[in-house]
Amino acid sequence: MMRRTTVVLLCALGGSPALPAGNLSPTELRDANRGNLNNLVVEMAKTDVLKLMGTQVVKAGPSFEGVKLINNPFRTETLLSGDGSKTLEVLFFYTYEDQESDITITNGDLTPLVVEEGKLKGWGWIFVKQIAKLYDIDIRIDGLGGGD
């Protein structure tokens, strides 16, 4: 007798539940972002990346001196290739806490996601360095710590 096994894969493209602004602590946002990185797929549409990672704005606690709100993504930058033919968008998400300084968010606390022509091309600091070399993009990365 043939046995049939059905495997159901559930993948919520919403990542963490959609919450009103300020309902997550910075730690909860960081942990949610770290978990959501595991569900990213190269060539995913930018709109789906934002649905997965979320676009919450979180009120920072007293340990984040000078930072009133933490945006998700924390910041966005546009990179232009050396010959001007390629434009990349880099979305930076808060994913790490620098052990040396818990009062500011540095590049080392962020994970970059690289988008080209509306599609996710890759993520992490190693990927950013590789793509910068490939496209002759002059980047300076200060304050790296947390991880890739």
**Does 127 fall in a domain?**
yes
Task: Give the pLDDT score at 66.
Answer: 62
30 in a structural domain: yes
Name residue 49's amino acid. Answer: V
Q: Is residue 67 part of a domain?
A: yes
**Domain for residue 16, yes or no?**
no
pLDDT on residue 64: 62
Per residue in 74-93, pLDDT (tens digit) is 999 999 999 999 999 999 99
Q: What is the pLDDT of residues 30-72, one digit of tens each?
A: 999 999 999 999 999 999 999 999 998 888 766 666 667 889 9
Cβ–Cβ contacts within 10 Å for residue 7, how many? 4
Which pLDDT score is estimated for 2?
38
Would you say 56 and 70 are in contact if contact means Cβ atoms under 8 Å apart? no
Quote the number of domains for the chain. Answer: 1
The mean pLDDT value of the chain amounts to 79
17 within some domain:
no
* Interval 104-131 mean pLDDT: 94
Residue 50 lies in a domain: yes
For residue 88, what are its two tokens?
């990349």
Has residue 36 been placed in a domain? Answer: yes
Domain holding 61, by residue range, is 26-134
